[in-house]
Structure 1
Amino acid sequence: MIKYIFGFFLLVGLVIAGWLYNLYEEIKHDIDVVINYAPKQSTQFFDKNGKLIANTFVGENREYVKYDDIPARIVEGLVAIEDTQYFEHIGINPDAISRAIIKDIKARAFVEGASTLTQQLVKMLVLSSEKKIIRKIKEALLAIRLETILTKEEILERYLNNVYFGHGYYGVRTAARGYFNKDLYELSLKEMAILVGLPRAPSFYAPTKNLKISLARANQVITRLNTLGWINKEQYERAIKEVPTIHKQTLTKNKAPYVVDYVLKLLKDDIPDIKSGGYKIKLTVDLDAQEIAQKALNNSHKEAVKRDLAIRKKTKKLDNDSYIKNLNGAVVSIESSTGKILALVGGIDYKKSMFNRAVQSKRQPGSAIKPFLYQIGLNEGLNPASELVDISRTYDYKVNNVNKKWQPKNYGGNFKGVVNLRESLVYSRNLSTINLVTDTGVGIVYKGLEEYGFSNLPNDLSITLGTMSVSPLEFSEYFSAFANNGTKVKPYIIEQITNKAGETITFEPQTTPINTPEQTFLITSILKDVVTRGTATRAKVSGIELAGKTGTTNKNVDAWFAGYSPSIQTIIWFGNDDNTPMRRTETGGKIAAPVFSYFYKNYLESHPEIPRRFIKPTKVYSSKINGKTEYYTDVSPLPEIEIVIPPENPGEEVIEF
């Protein structure tokens, strides 16, 4: 009888063994996903100084960390509370399984599990979480196999990077930075205990939801460490008393959403997994400058809204607030010598509108185009002291065989008869500018503007009024020829991209010579006067030389200020999103120039080392003319003959074109 019983059990054992073998053969390749672990990882964006700008991710917000960079105390805490015999068992814990089986039989239900950390990892990555015996058997088989392929440390690395810690945080480093604003090595024992206590029930224990319960769970971890003798009494007592500061913040931590959106758009075609590929992207942006630019834009917007409200109160039209809803702006600030974008603000409030006006909005620059026209005139032999005719003219022309008249005017409607080139640009006089273009030649001016980068230009005198369309970012590139001593730089925002393998791509400046430093300095000297005594006095900042030009289009649809210091260029635009006119009070000098002033004043306080004065090239000379000192070059000599307008006819001239 004993022989038969033994034979029966042997047969059953062989059947079970065969079944387990066949089951293992079916599932053994499922473990490859654990061995070749390649989780989704958040891509991180950093500013020029290494400050985190934002995280982007798809599905799982995870920042990967190598085992060697995980503090030993985190490993000890996890093992103490989850799997004390982790470093001794073979992937399963027979003693724990026996205890769990007995309890489950008594309760006639699955009331206690016995999963090791290895089994938990297998369950997370390979199997479902349903409570079925077949799933537990598969889990045990794969755990045993996994321990023969990976080291204990490799398994823990995968576990701590994959496990969910609540609040949208996957992986222990992500959770540390999310809950505590710290890297792993900066955590206290209590903070580590909070983290390792979370995987059991992350949504329940998350400190952002249930801090008291989370602290109680952490105290269980600390008590267990003390019981095992892994921490001393002093460490235990200090940790039990500690109540860490918990941060509840957005998962992306996005400090510059317009910037991040722009970068993602630039990279999405070349790097399809840019949001979840674990890239480290260093940008040229300075978060301090970005914050200053955003605040400067918002302050000027608030002042414009106040002016609008005052007018509506005066006219008793308080219900008409469409102006407030439509008025918006943009800022682009670059390092003049390289084109590195220091700040890029695409609107007043990203939460209300994600449309990036700095990049996507095409608007007319108006009088901000004039420095280009005057530079072309100077390159054709004119001098800042050259006299220009400032009289009214009526231009006759035809559109579809219909006779038309164009009678441009100066702002304010007056004219001077004769004005020198410097004063004409300083006070942004339209009539003398048109005459400058006429005398220089529309064809020459057209070709010159194309060299700067402008396209789709009108091939007539309306070119003088800045009727072409450009984005603030595009205008930054063209205007950089003035800020960078005659060499145009292409603005760029990505400095380095590093992938998960540590391979790095670095981006370099792109430059195009346009003018000589000597000729460019002549324009800079005039644009300095625009700020100190011309149309842009609101852009002035004490202690630093600044140059720039206001721009206001017809009917005040757009308002610009384009300017620069000896090292930084900043372009500001304001207008209504629906292209309707702003208030007549909102000119480039009124609404845009104060943004420039605020930006440079505050940036100078945090960066006192930036250059303060423009340097005059050695081949720029100066001499007295009409009692005033004026600059000249070999290309732009001082004028010898003054223009005289007949005193009997200071009025209007009719010209056909």
Structure 2
Amino acid sequence: MIKYILGIITIIGLAIASWLVYLYLNLRFDIDKIVNYKPPLTTQFFDKNGELVANIFDKENRLYVDYDDIPPRVIEALLAIEDTQFFEHGGVNLDAISRALIKDIKAGKLVEGASTLTQQLVKTILLTREKKLIRKIKEALLSIRVEQVLTKEQILERYFNQVYFGHGYFGIRTAALGYFKKELYQLSLKEIAILVGLPKAPSFYDPTRNLKFSLARANQVIDRLKTLGWINQSEYQEATDSVPTIYNQTLTKNKAPYIVDYAFKELRKNIPNIKEEGYVINLTIDLKAQEIARKALNLSYNNIIKRDQYFRSLAFKGLNVYPMSLIEEQEAFTKTLNGGLITIENSTGKILSLVGGVNYRESSFNRVIQSQRQPGSSVKPFIYQQALDLGYSPASLIADISRTYEFDDEETKKANTENPDTNETDVQTTDTQAADGTEDDTSKKRWQPKNYEEDYKGLITLREALVHSRNLATINLVNDIGIDVIYKGLESYGLKNIPFDLSITLGSFGVSPIEFSQAYSMFSNNGIQVKPYIVSSITNRYKQTVNFEPEEKFITSPEQVYLMTTILEDVVKKGTGRMANVDGIEIAGKTGTSNNNVDAWFCGYSPTLQTIIWFGNDDNKPMRKSETGGRAAGPAFAYFYKNYLKLHPEIKRNFTQPDNVKTTTLNGEKEYYTETSKLPLNKTRLLEKNQVQF
């Protein structure tokens, strides 16, 4: 009988052993996820000074830490509370299992586990958390296999990076930065104790929700360290008494959402898995400059709103020039008002600040990148630069007189003129009539552009025409040069979708602020266009780095562009851009206001930076006639540069005049010329410097 029973036991034992061997052989390949550990990692964006801009991730917010960067005290604290014999066992702690088994038998159910750190890692990555015998057997077998393949250090590294620490934080480095805003090496003993105590019940012990229980759990860790003799009495008392500062932060920590959205969309074109690969992305932006830009945009936005409210109050008092009915109908003056701002480095195209709207929470639409708005007179410098490159000089004379143009295609000749800042025009079209007063069968249209003041100055200098944004002079200049030449020139500057007619002189086409920023860089960067870019380098999880360099395009020579800079300086000093002037630094720029004050621009630059600012209604409804480029956008520009100077007082303040740019005095004013752009032989002008009359 005994032999029979022993035989049965032997058969059962062999069957169990065979089953375990079979199970082990089938499970050993399942540890690949642990051996070749590649968890989803959070991608981080940093500004040019190394300050965190944002985190982006898919499902798990995890910042990886190598074993060598984990402080010994962190490892000791974890082992003290979770697996004191970690470096002695082979994946399964038989003593702990025996103790737990006795407690389970007494309770009649599974009440205590005896999982080693290796088992916890296996359970977290490969198995479920359910308390079933088959799962515990698989967990033990897999743990033994993992210990045969990986070193103890490799297992710990995987554990510290895999485990959930509550509040959306995966991995201990993520939790340290999230809860305490510290790297691991900066943590106090109490902070370490809080962290290693979290994996047992991460939601319950989350210090942002249950600080009392979190501290109690941390004190258990500290008691255990003291019991093991791993800390002394002084360390024990100090850690027990301390209460660290806990931060309840958002997971993304996004400080510049318009920028992050733009950078992410650009990178995703070539990196589809960007949210899971743990890239470190260094941006070109300066977060301090970004904050100044945000305040600048909001300053002008609020001023536009205040002016609108003021005019409305006058209307209610019967003092407004607008009829009350018109005020009520045109509630849209500021109903969808918004703006955009972009600042780049002149010499590189690196984007220092980019604000796509006044309030990201209300609208994530990035007006700097996604909008297409009419530039109005801010396009004129490109036309006048062509004139300079063709031999005109700032002192060349242009006819500021009226002309009437007839044409057949109304849509082709539709000119969206503007009312910039002090001097823009209105375009009118009329049908050609027959002698008897009826409409002519040819249905020809008449375009008769005019200056804002409805005056004509006759012959004026090229400088004066641009400084005061004279439309008629500009149109006559284009006629003199040839519209085909101007059209090709604008295309060569990168401007797109421009009409082949005289309306291009008044900016009747769409352009985004970032596209305009690239075009304008030919002026700010001495004749060489640079493409604005926002990513300076990308480093992957394997520490491999790709750096990005400026993209350049030669347009014209530095001396020819310098002539334009001197004219645009006068725009700011005494023309339509006076509200953009900043004391202590030279500024050049141009205003622009499209037809009916739909768009208001200021495009300007200093010796080192260039800024494009736009305001308008998102639904393309007109703003008030008072909202011109100079008044709406100019103050935002001035605010940005005044405050940027406080931040960087060391920046260059004056434009550098090229050696081959010559100067003279003409009618009491300094004038500039080059070998290409020579002064005109005009008998009515006197070169006072040499007292010679031509």
Distance in 2, matches of 1:379 and 1:642, equals 24
Write out per-residue CA displacement over residues 167-188 of structure 1, whole angstroms, 9 at most, x where no aligned residue: 1111111111111111111111
**Matches of residues 493-504 of structure 1 in structure 2 within 5 Å?**
493-504=534-545
Q: Secondary structure at the match of 1:399?
A: coil
The reply on whether 1:570 has 2:611 as its aligned counterpart is yes
The reply on whether 1:373 has 2:376 as its aligned counterpart is no
Partner of 1:650: none
Give the C-alpha shift of residue 319 in structure 1: 11
Distance in 1, matches of 2:369 and 2:40, equals 30
Give the C-alpha shift of residue 630 in structure 1: 0.7
Partner of 1:28: 28
Distance in 1, matches of 2:670 and 2:111, equals 94
The reply on whether 1:313 has 2:317 as its aligned counterpart is no
CA RMSD of aligned residues (A): 1.6
**Matches of residues 63-74 of structure 1 in structure 2 within 5 Å?**
63-74=63-74
Give the C-alpha shift of residue 608 in structure 1: 1.4
Contact 2:334/2:623, CA 8 A, preserved across alignment:
no
Structure 1 residues 128-137 or 427-436, which shifts more? 427-436
Q: Secondary structure at the match of 2:204?
A: helix
Distance in 1, matches of 2:234 and 2:335, equals 60
Distance in 2, matches of 1:573 and 1:7, equals 91
Q: Secondary structure at the match of 2:34?
A: helix
Q: Find 1:475's aligned residue among 503, 516, 520.
A: 516
**Matches of residues 263-302 of structure 1 in structure 2 within 5 Å?**
263-302=263-302
The reply on whether 1:549 has 2:559 as its aligned counterpart is no
Give the C-alpha shift of residue 5 in structure 1: 4.4
> Structure 1 residues 157, 582: CA separation in 2 closer, same or farther (over 3 Å shift)?
same
Partner of 1:435: 476
The reply on whether 1:350 has 2:360 as its aligned counterpart is yes
Partner of 1:492: 533
Partner of 1:449: 490
TM-score by length of 1: 0.95
Distance in 2, matches of 1:337 and 1:581, equals 36
Q: Find 1:459's aligned residue among 500, 503, 507.
A: 500
**Matches of residues 32-431 of structure 1 in structure 2 within 5 Å?**
32-316=32-316, 322-399=332-409, 402-431=443-472
Give the C-alpha shift of residue 303 in structure 1: 1.1
Q: Secondary structure at the match of 2:73?
A: helix
Give the C-alpha shift of residue 74 in structure 1: 1.0
> Structure 1 residues 610, 35: CA separation in 2 closer, same or farther (over 3 Å shift)?
same
Distance in 1, matches of 2:451 and 2:328, equals 33
The reply on whether 1:14 has 2:53 as its aligned counterpart is no
Distance in 1, matches of 2:308 and 2:284, equals 37
The reply on whether 1:522 has 2:573 as its aligned counterpart is no
Give the C-alpha shift of residue 628 in structure 1: 2.2
> Structure 1 residues 132, 642: CA separation in 2 closer, same or farther (over 3 Å shift)?
farther
Contact 2:332/2:621, CA 8 A, preserved across alignment:
no
Partner of 1:655: none
Contact 2:333/2:622, CA 8 A, preserved across alignment:
no
Give the C-alpha shift of residue 641 in structure 1: 2.2
Q: Find 1:629's aligned residue among 670, 675, 688.
A: 670
Q: Secondary structure at the match of 2:404?
A: strand
Distance in 1, matches of 2:135 and 2:467, equals 81
Contact 1:387/1:642, CA 8 A, preserved across alignment:
no
Distance in 1, matches of 2:533 and 2:214, equals 45
Q: Secondary structure at the match of 2:368?
A: coil
Q: Secondary structure at the match of 1:569?
A: strand
Give the C-alpha shift of residue 155 in structure 1: 0.6
Distance in 2, matches of 1:528 and 1:202, equals 62
Amino acid at match of 1:344: L
Q: Secondary structure at the match of 2:403?
A: strand
Q: Secondary structure at the match of 2:343?
A: strand
Amino acid at match of 1:259: I
Distance in 1, matches of 2:680 and 2:540, equals 60
Contact 1:418/1:643, CA 8 A, preserved across alignment:
no
Give the C-alpha shift of residue 482 in structure 1: 0.2
Contact 1:90/1:144, CA 8 A, preserved across alignment:
yes
Distance in 2, matches of 1:168 and 1:407, equals 65
Give the C-alpha shift of residue 2 in structure 1: 5.0
Give the C-alpha shift of residue 394 in structure 1: 2.3
Write out per-residue CA displacement over residues 571-613 of structure 1, whole angstroms, 9 at most, x where no aligned residue: 1111110111111111110111111111111111111121110
Partner of 1:653: none
Distance in 2, matches of 1:487 and 1:369, equals 17
Amino acid at match of 2:34: V
Amino acid at match of 1:212: K
Give the C-alpha shift of residue 642 in structure 1: 6.0
Q: Secondary structure at the match of 2:624?
A: coil
Give the C-alpha shift of residue 335 in structure 1: 0.6
Partner of 2:599: 558
Structure 1 residues 385-394 or 299-308, which shifts more? 385-394
> Structure 1 residues 588, 271: CA separation in 2 closer, same or farther (over 3 Å shift)?
same
Distance in 2, matches of 1:402 and 1:250, equals 64
Give the C-alpha shift of residue 25 in structure 1: 1.9
Amino acid at match of 1:343: S
Distance in 2, matches of 1:156 and 1:627, equals 80
Contact 2:43/2:57, CA 8 A, preserved across alignment:
yes
Distance in 2, matches of 1:324 and 1:184, equals 50
Amino acid at match of 2:109: A
Partner of 1:654: none
Write out per-residue CA displacement over residues 503-540 of structure 1, whole angstroms, 9 at most, x where no aligned residue: 11111111111111111001000111111111111111
Distance in 2, matches of 1:261 and 1:415, equals 48
Give the C-alpha shift of residue 53 in structure 1: 1.0
Structure 2: which 5+ runs fail to align? 317-326, 411-441, 686-694
Distance in 2, matches of 1:488 and 1:470, equals 16
Write out per-residue CA displacement over residues 199-223 of structure 1, whole angstroms, 9 at most, x where no aligned residue: 1111111111111211111111111
Distance in 1, matches of 2:186 and 2:228, equals 24
Give the C-alpha shift of residue 321 in structure 1: 5.7
What is the identity percentage for the equivalent residue pairs of Structure 1 and Structure 2? Answer: 62
Distance in 2, matches of 1:135 and 1:324, equals 65
Contact 1:312/1:318, CA 8 A, preserved across alignment:
no
Give the C-alpha shift of residue 391 in structure 1: 2.1
Structure 1 residues 590-599 or 416-425, which shifts more? 416-425
Write out per-residue CA displacement over residues 466-516 of structure 1, whole angstroms, 9 at most, x where no aligned residue: 112110000001100000011111111111111111211111111111111
Give the C-alpha shift of residue 419 in structure 1: 1.9
Structure 1: which 5+ runs fail to align? 645-657
Write out per-residue CA displacement over residues 363-397 of structure 1, whole angstroms, 9 at most, x where no aligned residue: 11101001111111111221111222212222222
Distance in 2, matches of 1:502 and 1:196, equals 28
Contact 1:279/1:498, CA 8 A, preserved across alignment:
yes
Amino acid at match of 2:353: A
Contact 1:382/1:637, CA 8 A, preserved across alignment:
yes
Q: Secondary structure at the match of 1:358?
A: helix
Distance in 1, matches of 2:304 and 2:517, equals 24
Give the C-alpha shift of residue 7 in structure 1: 3.7
Partner of 1:583: 624
Give the C-alpha shift of residue 564 in structure 1: 0.4
